[in-house]
Structure 1
Amino acid sequence: MSAFLDALMAQRRKFLDGLDANEGDINLDIFEDFYPDQAHFVFELLQNAEDTGATDVAFFLTEKGCWFEHNGTRAFTEPDVRAITGIHNSTKKKSPDQIGKFGVGFKSVFVYTLTPTIYSADFSFQISRLVMPEPVASDPSIGGKTKFWLPFNNPNKATQAAFSEIKAGLSELAETTLLFLPNIESIKWRVGHDLSGAILRIAHTDSHLEVMKQINGQTTTSSHFLKFDQPVAGLEKQRVAVAFALDFLPNAQMFSSDKPLSQQLKIVSVPGQVAVFFPAGKETSGLRFHLHAPFVPELSRASIKETPANKPLFEQLAVLAASSLHKIRDLGLLSTDFLAVLPNPQDQLAPRYFGIRDSICRAINTEPLMPTYVKGHAPAQTLIQAKSSLKELLSSDDIEFLIDYDEAPPQWAASRALQGTNVERFMNGLAIKDWDIASFVDCIDQKASEGNWRGVNTEFMAWLAGKSMEWHQQFYALLAKDSEAQDELYRLKRCKIVRLSEGAYECGPKCHFLDNHDVKTRGVRCVDPAVYTAGKSKAQQESARKFLEDIGATKVGERQLVEAILKSTYVNSARTLNQREYLSHMRRFIKLLDEDPSCGSLLSTFHLFMGKDNRWHKPAEIYLDDPYLGTGLSEYLGIIGTSNPPSPLADFYQSLPIDTQKFTRFAEKLGCLTKIAVARTSCGKNPRWNYLRSVSGERHTSPIDRDYIINRFHLLAAKKSEKLAKLIWNTMCSLSDAAHSYDSTHHQNPLRAVYRKNERGGAHFADSQLIHQLRADAWIPQRTGEFVRPAQARVELLPDGFTFDPGWPWIKAIEFGKGIQLQNARAQAEAAATLEQQRRQQEAAKALGFPDAETARKLAEIPEDELKRILVKWQRQERTASSTPEFPQRVSPNPYRRAERMAERTQAAAPKTYEVRERSVRTSDRDARQLARPYLLDLYTNAADEMICQACHQTMPFNLPDGSPYFEAAELLPEASAELVENHLALCPTCSAKWRHARSSSDADVIAELRAAQTPEILVTLAGEATAVRFVQVHLDDLRTIISVTVDDTTVPVEVK
């Protein structure tokens, strides 16, 4: 060995002689600049010990230097001596399973010492001038250990500074120092004789590590980690690793191997460190867990070098990080909280760490790793997210039934995290789909809506029917509370989701609450009371009922009770008459129809009336005639004859103790026949058929062929019956559709025929066959006893009961009275002359600007002087109207502060005082009235320097000699107990007189108006006319404060609107 050292020393001496010959051009002190951080050599020594397989290392720091020893299984060899005394000549470049570049890294000790000494089993030597080994006496006491001595003899580093820096470096050794070292299990140190410390690593399992730090024998910190590693491809002993920090749960203080890890610890976020066995202090990953790989670092080992050699290691770390999630899940630690530890899309990561984030997200999206609502795990892409209330309502089986899917059935994702947290950010970056209340409502609408073209889904209804009453209550309460569901009430109203007492389902508007269970409700759709009374939650019960009310369910009312009677008694025509019961029912039906006319559609569908054939009929199967209503239908039906004629009302109704007229109106409202049916027919027999069919178009793609007649009208007219004529007349009066005086293809007007081949070709219109029937026959009776055609009829000769209005469209259409001409030529000539004279007078009056001749005549009768006076007054009013002044505006910048000051002033204002003379005379108002004038003048003068009256909104009528406008300050609130300038109105003399002497509105009315005003004005009645009294906003605010203090007797200002 001595020969090796002698030879090596000779080589190094030549090297140093060469350096000396260069006279300082080459300076080895540059190595001190590579290690700017204090006590960096501590990590270099630990690396050396790790490479030798050491399990225990120790430092002993004195004021003269630092001892370091380890129990490595391999002592120094000749190549090691060459490497540690060489420059960038490490043995590790040929041994990739070792850490770093020892030859260069060891040079960090020269920051503190010029002559480090190494004692090993085969070599004991001192190094001088960085590269020169010099033999020293061996130390037999070290046995198989290796020991380093580092005396503080570098003149560039004071001894005390060296001692302090190394002491600090040892004290600051973190628990992560041992996290990624496979061999070293303990690091101990002693500083003088007073301070000792140690870092110990305990492996509870292959992945669960505990690192403890002790000071003077007492454990100061204990950190737990989950570490997962795997061999680096191509390097036998090197490994990549990820480590997650653990922290105790609130109910655990100390780790016990007898309990599952998940019951004691949880994974927590920490600033992620990147290590090349030891943390690279300046490398920032942005992750919240630690990484380790045998990266190529910068020379200082403070950061990871940007080099292609590191890329495979980052790729392998990405795979390892994702695969470790399976083990974390199996340990019971992959909870929703754990997701905060994982990188999310908003984390600021260096680009080379993107792959780790992408790999983790991809794994959670596609593998069963994402926490679910039922405490399991599933691929995130199969999960759906919703509010917790919906998740509580719908189980996994429910959503599997309700939601269509391709492969894996959907499951609920774990509950949403708080907004702005890392858990929420991570979940937002996953492929979880939203399926919330709105989606649930869509599903209900698709499967249970009456308006769905597919019809109600029977499988969905069966699923709904299988739910308990408590579930239904929870279902309804959820929809009542959720704002999204409230926005969709119009859709839910058409869905059959309301459970009925008999177990069926119906739409809300058709359902009713039965609060009185003694009432017979056969046929009434009653909500099952259990759906809003089950359970013990009063709030949920109330919410469930509220939802049912929101979608249209109502209390059982008279209509529903009547419906129950109808369905139980009047469904068919075969039943026995119970006159007492029937009378009771009829009275009830009549009253209901009077109170709710919409019930007519319900009543008209049941067999309510008995005919003379002793059978029960629907209203449309009964006609009314004498003795109930003289319609003439008996005679009409006898003439036309039908195969299935309606039946006349039975005679026994005359003897019922019920108002016959009221009963008749009731029967008529329900559809009992009182008129002739106008039949629809084609246009082929219309007298204007040739014109109608000449419409443009060849193809009948959208044809219309619509005309109207009264069947066998000629037979009716031939009877010369006043009854039949009145029936026809009343029938025409009842044709509401005939009221339209325009032609339309959409509107079916019985007075008009329409024919069309297609929409593009348009349509032709003509008088209907009905009109031609009515014009052609002599069917209208006259008081003379004869029957005439409409053109020859006189309105004054119509019999009683023939109501007439010349403006009715059908009267015009049948040309009523058109044939009546003036009896002689003289009458015709006089009429013509009169009309011509009227026409000329009308033209002359319009030429002079009058609307008609009558107005011109009336104006001509007015005396000339009076007419001039009227003209002058009108011109003045026109000028005033054309220049209506702008009402002033005044808003307080701080109305609340103004209200407070106004309240204080009001409370401090002088009270109203009176002296008792022969009458009570108010003596305290002089100052208030005088001060009110400048206050009002300021408020109600607009930008044009015009003072405006608050009542008539016009400028004040004249100015005083000093140029100020004349106005009167009328007191507004006599009830106010204090004298206040604000309690006045700015009025012109006329409005002031009206206010004082012709105000119909009481003081209480004025106060109520002021309180309720939404805009700065109130309505009062002055001289019999409604008058708007306007205010600027600050004046109105002041008055409200006065009311609150002097009228309401409160010290708190009223709300300023």
Structure 2
Amino acid sequence: MSVLQDIKRRRRNLAQTLKEHQGIRTLVEQLYPDRAHFIYELLQNAEDAGATQATFRLLHTSLVFEHDGRAFEPADIEAITDIGSSSKQDDQQTIGRFGIGFKAVFAYTNTPRIYSPTYSFRIDDLVLPSPLTANSKLGPVTRFEFPFDNPKKPAAVAFQEIQQGLEALQVSTLLFLNTLASICWEIEGGAEGAVHRVVHADHHLELITNPDSDDAWSDHYVMFSAPVPGLPRHRAAIAFELDYLPGVEEYDHRKPLAKQMKVVDANPGQVFVFFPAEKETSGLRFHLHAPFVPEVSRASIKDTTANAPLFNQLADVTAAALQRLKKLKLLTPELLSVLPNNDDPLPLRYRPIRAAVLLAMRQKDLTPTFTGGHAPAEVLLQARVQVKELIEPRDLHVLLQTIDPLEWAANVNQKNGRIDKFYSSLGVEEWDVEALVDTLKEHLSEATAAPGQTYTYLKQPTPEVLTWLQGKSVDWMRELYATLERHYLGGWQRAQKVEGLATLKIVRLADGMLTRPSEAYFANAQLGSAGVPTVDTATFTRGKKNDLHPEARQFLVAIGVRELDAVSQMDRYLRQNYGEFSRNQKFEDMELFLRFAEEHPHELDIFRGATIFKVKSKGGPGVWASAETILFSQPYAPTGLDQFYRQELQDAKWHCLTDDYQTLDKRLPAFLKFCERVGVKSSLEISRVGCYGNTQYAFLVVKAPGNWSDNKGINIDFTIPGLQEALQRPSLDTSRLIWTSLLTAKDPNFTEAMYRSNSAHDIRRAPSKLIEQLKKAKWVPQGDRFVQPAQALVSKLPKGFYFDPAAAWIKAIDFGSETRRQEEMGKDRQQSAKLLGFPDDEKTLEMLRELAKLPKEELGNLAAKARASKAGEFPERTSSNPERRTKHVGAAAAQAPQRQSETRERSVSVNYSEVKTEARQYLSDQYTLDGDLYCQICQKPMPFRLDNGQPYFEAVELVPDLTTMHPPNYLALCPNHAAMFERANKSKSALRFLIKQAHGVNIDVMLAGQERKVRFTKMHLEDLRIVLDQLSKSSAQSA
């Protein structure tokens, strides 16, 4: 029995099962995601058979596939005619592992035919082989024929789907195969195509599409691989795409690859399991391959631990490839855009590849540098080109005081581009022009001492850095100045940056030394420069003609180098002889200064900080001080500042001029004018500050809505420095000084503090700190004493205190408000005394004033005696027109508000407070006598008063079950009897009857087990009866 007959015999039961269970065939046919996927299955079998060439011929009635690989063996027939079995299951070196891949052809054919040099046969019912006559013309070629005889798939549809599959066959299909180097296809009545793989030297391979046609093109790659442990015939591999350099049109094998091509971005990079896994995404920008365990469809990689070692090996392969790329001179800055950075969204299992790349480039000589070489990323810095060209690596070593040498990273063509992000992922620090300036500040600053120190400088330049800079050429210095002007001062905050450079010894002088900008001058041929430190002209000119380098000179001017003229000469003289620690001051130089001020009235700022004035000193001869620390005082100007700043003068924070300047005689007026112009203090200055510390800071700032805007926010308050201390020791001179300063203030809005977060919100306003300080302090002179502004009288102000009643600050400090209130109260007291029966004469009023001076205890005793003498008294109120009052009260009762309640935890009257407020006013009017309010039960004045002077009493509802609420239906009771009436009252149910039947002005009630009388004024009792009668009538009408 032949091999085919034996296999067929053994497959009959399986064939019968498949007929009975058609779903199995359907499952097999639909197993793959695309209809022509079996094309890859055929190529897989060709690769496993060691074929070098494969050909497809698509006819309208069938598909023919041929390859030149190994001929069929019995095991191959066993596998191809079985389901779930494969000759490759025990051979881990082959691609296929499932034995059902070939069955995908049955979606198109029922009778596939195989012609091999060893066996020729047809397959029926998926699994039954039948022998065919061999085709001797094929020679060593194996042929597969697939007639389109599946009734479920019309031939036209089969032709169209396979045509689409062939035309979509990717050029990269051959990229990671070992033996198959050529794929050709022909389509009846249509196109034909081919892909060939050519392996060049040095990991370089070329995939040529349609090589024999006019539209042929090539794709070039560099591939790196390593054997898979345990599978020596399989390799883990990566491939980078290549493209021609500008000006190169075709590959020349005689020239180095790096001279012709560069690595480019393959976005997206593909994942291969020999062939492309269409649905697998790596997030990388190069291709990779390994013998992964794929999903059954081969479209993606299976999530299984069996694949983990392959991902780790790919990471090692990629890291090792960097060294080979470097040897091929392909490891350029542009290649960094292809490598994964930390911003790339890589799936978790592909991240070891990125980690391996970053680690290798951090620690090994693999990262491209500015000079064209490679270095570990951990020794690299990044900056703009101009800084790299200026500061060489050996300069970095000096400036940063490092032990290990540093290098510049290669240039970045786009900020925040892929190359820049890759450098950031490597941890390459940016050390640009700002960092350069910070380093120069650290090592070249020459900072002057703080006031009070005995030595000249707090900080000297670092000797090594100063020597390094002095060793630079004038050309180099010129480029330094131009670079700093263009890339540092050229941005925002120019003035602030210029100020930060003022102390740096970076100005090259003509003698080769370095100095600070303020000590250097541009040479002036007309004035001569002997003995003057002038800038080396070569640092801001260039060429044989000494053409001006505008940016270099502009930088020198900006940082403080000046033209040598009369002004700069005076400035230099002042700094040499009138510095903070100078001992060269001469009284006679004042005439020199006065003449300069007359000739250069707009250049007086150069005197700022110069110690040109002789000032008084405690217990010794005069010392020298600058204008900013001096106050005008007697005998030069009676400003009062010496009193205001008395403590500060004692502490030498402020100074006064010595009397020596009295000898200037005719020049004294010019001297005083000069003093004022250069900054000697002649008046108080109202300073603008922020709102912090204002008594209403919480309202102004904390509770202000919105977020702060530097452009649109407002935060303004006002104060006078030292005012709080001066107000604690008032004097006439101090008060006059404050008064005059307020009158002559340049900004009249100093009375208000203002704040807003941004323009979307209103400005919040409150009295300024200055106004609050002035309102609280006793500083306004009134005869022989000082009072708060509110207690002052205009008539008592001394001479020199001009009073403007319309001035906003006069109103803001409440000037005279308390006095006016006292006058009005005096008039009220006179009227009150008259109403109380006291004679309207001064003697009686004086007696009342004397009584007001008595201690509270003594007044209380007098009041108690007075109340005792009034025992039995009780307020009486009667209506002068009973008839009219009856109508008025009745109308009010008819319109009284209904008692409204809401059901919460208990019933609560929601309009209770309004009526009770009216009731309290009503009861106060009824039961007040001689300023005392009487309880209706004990008939005595209320036991105590509130802080506002008003007697405390309880307004207690009398008849509680009325449907409407009325002020007359309340009693004025002391706290004791209010509690009794509300909580120990056995007469509540009879109150309405008792009121109607009462004779006189009393009703009897039982409170706390004792009989008590409730006393009314006649008017109150009548009003209450009118209310009750009106309610009875309304109730009868509604019934």
TM more than 0.5? yes
Whether the 8 Å contact between 1:592 and 1:599 is mirrored in structure 2 is no
Query: 1:27 aligns to what SS in structure 2?
Result: helix
- CA deviation map 1:931-955 (0-9, x unaligned): xxxxxxxxxxxxxxxxxxxxxxxxx
- CA deviation map 1:846-905 (0-9, x unaligned): 9997624999xxxxxxxxxxxxxxxxxxxxxxxxxxxxxxxxxxxxxxxxxxxxxxxxxx
1:160, distance to aligned residue in structure 2 (A): 1.6
- For 1:296 and 1:383, locate their aligned partners in 2 and report how far apart those are by CA, in whole Å: 41
- For 2:638 and 2:514, locate their aligned partners in 1 and report how far apart those are by CA, in whole Å: 41
* Residue number in structure 1 paired with 2:1027: none
1:676-825 matched pairs, under 5 angstroms: 679-680=619-620, 739-740=642-643, 744=647, 747=650
Q: Which is worse superposed, 353-362 or 416-425?
A: 416-425
Letter in 1 for 2:324: K
* Residue number in structure 2 paired with 1:937: none
1:443-842 matched pairs, under 5 angstroms: 443-451=439-447, 453-481=458-486, 482=488, 483=491, 486=494, 487-514=496-523, 516-535=524-543, 541-560=549-568, 591-592=595-596, 595=600, 679-680=619-620, 739-740=642-643, 744=647, 747=650
Letter in 1 for 2:252: S
Whether the 8 Å contact between 1:500 and 1:527 is mirrored in structure 2 is yes
Change (3 A) 1:7 1:540: farther
Out of 92, 101, 105, the residue aligned to residue 101 of structure 2 is 105
- For 2:653 and 2:436, locate their aligned partners in 1 and report how far apart those are by CA, in whole Å: 49
Query: 1:477 aligns to what SS in structure 2?
Result: helix
- For 2:125 and 2:398, locate their aligned partners in 1 and report how far apart those are by CA, in whole Å: 82
Whether the 8 Å contact between 1:364 and 1:379 is mirrored in structure 2 is yes
Whether the 8 Å contact between 2:394 and 2:406 is mirrored in structure 1 is no
* Residue number in structure 1 paired with 2:148: 152
- For 1:589 and 1:749, locate their aligned partners in 2 and report how far apart those are by CA, in whole Å: 25
1:402, distance to aligned residue in structure 2 (A): 1.0
- For 1:14 and 1:509, locate their aligned partners in 2 and report how far apart those are by CA, in whole Å: 106
1:275, distance to aligned residue in structure 2 (A): 0.7
- For 2:352 and 2:101, locate their aligned partners in 1 and report how far apart those are by CA, in whole Å: 31
- For 2:636 and 2:514, locate their aligned partners in 1 and report how far apart those are by CA, in whole Å: 46
Aligned length: 638
* Residue number in structure 2 paired with 1:968: none
1:192, distance to aligned residue in structure 2 (A): 2.9
* Residue number in structure 2 paired with 1:442: 438
Query: 1:392 aligns to what SS in structure 2?
Result: helix
Q: Does 1:433 align with 2:442?
A: no
- For 1:593 and 1:154, locate their aligned partners in 2 and report how far apart those are by CA, in whole Å: 112
1:518, distance to aligned residue in structure 2 (A): 4.8
- For 1:10 and 1:186, locate their aligned partners in 2 and report how far apart those are by CA, in whole Å: 38
1:293, distance to aligned residue in structure 2 (A): 0.6
Change (3 A) 1:137 1:462: same
Query: 1:267 aligns to what SS in structure 2?
Result: strand
- For 1:332 and 1:295, locate their aligned partners in 2 and report how far apart those are by CA, in whole Å: 31
- For 2:797 and 2:468, locate their aligned partners in 1 and report how far apart those are by CA, in whole Å: 82
Change (3 A) 1:747 1:275: same
Query: 2:186 aligns to what SS in structure 1?
Result: strand
Letter in 2 for 1:851: S
Query: 1:133 aligns to what SS in structure 2?
Result: strand
1:680, distance to aligned residue in structure 2 (A): 4.0
* Residue number in structure 2 paired with 1:201: 197
- CA deviation map 1:608-652 (0-9, x unaligned): xxxxxxxxxxxxxxxxxxxxxxxxxxxxxxxxxxxxxxxxxxxxx
* Residue number in structure 2 paired with 1:851: 795
Percent identity of equivalent pairs: 37
* Residue number in structure 2 paired with 1:319: 316
- For 1:750 and 1:89, locate their aligned partners in 2 and report how far apart those are by CA, in whole Å: 102
Query: 1:45 aligns to what SS in structure 2?
Result: helix
* Residue number in structure 2 paired with 1:17: 16
Change (3 A) 1:370 1:485: farther
Whether the 8 Å contact between 2:446 and 2:505 is mirrored in structure 1 is yes
1:733, distance to aligned residue in structure 2 (A): 8.5
1:462, distance to aligned residue in structure 2 (A): 1.6
* Residue number in structure 1 paired with 2:55: 58
- For 1:401 and 1:204, locate their aligned partners in 2 and report how far apart those are by CA, in whole Å: 48
Whether the 8 Å contact between 2:194 and 2:210 is mirrored in structure 1 is yes
- For 2:181 and 2:285, locate their aligned partners in 1 and report how far apart those are by CA, in whole Å: 25
1:92-131 matched pairs, under 5 angstroms: 92-101=88-97, 103-131=99-127
1:297, distance to aligned residue in structure 2 (A): 0.7
* Residue number in structure 1 paired with 2:674: none
* Residue number in structure 2 paired with 1:799: none
1:259, distance to aligned residue in structure 2 (A): 2.1
* Residue number in structure 1 paired with 2:38: 41
1:492, distance to aligned residue in structure 2 (A): 1.1
1:176-255 matched pairs, under 5 angstroms: 176-192=172-188, 195-214=191-210, 217-255=213-251
Change (3 A) 1:233 1:397: same
Whether the 8 Å contact between 2:538 and 2:546 is mirrored in structure 1 is no
Change (3 A) 1:405 1:568: closer
> TM-score scaled by structure 2?
0.56
* Residue number in structure 2 paired with 1:413: 409
Change (3 A) 1:850 1:48: closer
Whether the 8 Å contact between 2:446 and 2:459 is mirrored in structure 1 is no
Structure 2 residue runs of 5 or longer lacking an equivalent are 448-456, 578-588, 624-632, 660-730, 735-781, 800-1039
Whether the 8 Å contact between 1:521 and 1:564 is mirrored in structure 2 is no
* Residue number in structure 2 paired with 1:424: 420
Whether the 8 Å contact between 2:642 and 2:649 is mirrored in structure 1 is no
Query: 2:216 aligns to what SS in structure 1?
Result: strand
Change (3 A) 1:461 1:365: same
- For 1:85 and 1:603, locate their aligned partners in 2 and report how far apart those are by CA, in whole Å: 107
- CA deviation map 1:970-1025 (0-9, x unaligned): xxxxxxxxxxxxxxxxxxxxxxxxxxxxxxxxxxxxxxxxxxxxxxxxxxxxxxxx
- For 1:269 and 1:309, locate their aligned partners in 2 and report how far apart those are by CA, in whole Å: 30
Whether the 8 Å contact between 2:86 and 2:98 is mirrored in structure 1 is yes
* Residue number in structure 2 paired with 1:789: none
Q: Does 1:31 align with 2:31?
A: no
Letter in 1 for 2:409: A
* Residue number in structure 1 paired with 2:87: 91
> TM-score scaled by structure 1?
0.55
Whether the 8 Å contact between 1:474 and 1:540 is mirrored in structure 2 is no
Query: 2:111 aligns to what SS in structure 1?
Result: coil
* Residue number in structure 1 paired with 2:677: none
Change (3 A) 1:156 1:560: same
Whether the 8 Å contact between 1:196 and 1:215 is mirrored in structure 2 is no
Letter in 2 for 1:16: A
Change (3 A) 1:126 1:139: same
* Residue number in structure 2 paired with 1:332: 329
Change (3 A) 1:278 1:25: closer
Query: 1:150 aligns to what SS in structure 2?
Result: strand
Whether the 8 Å contact between 1:248 and 1:264 is mirrored in structure 2 is yes
Change (3 A) 1:736 1:260: farther
- For 2:153 and 2:610, locate their aligned partners in 1 and report how far apart those are by CA, in whole Å: 111
Query: 1:34 aligns to what SS in structure 2?
Result: coil
* Residue number in structure 1 paired with 2:304: 307
1:362, distance to aligned residue in structure 2 (A): 2.0
1:92, distance to aligned residue in structure 2 (A): 1.4
Whether the 8 Å contact between 2:783 and 2:798 is mirrored in structure 1 is no
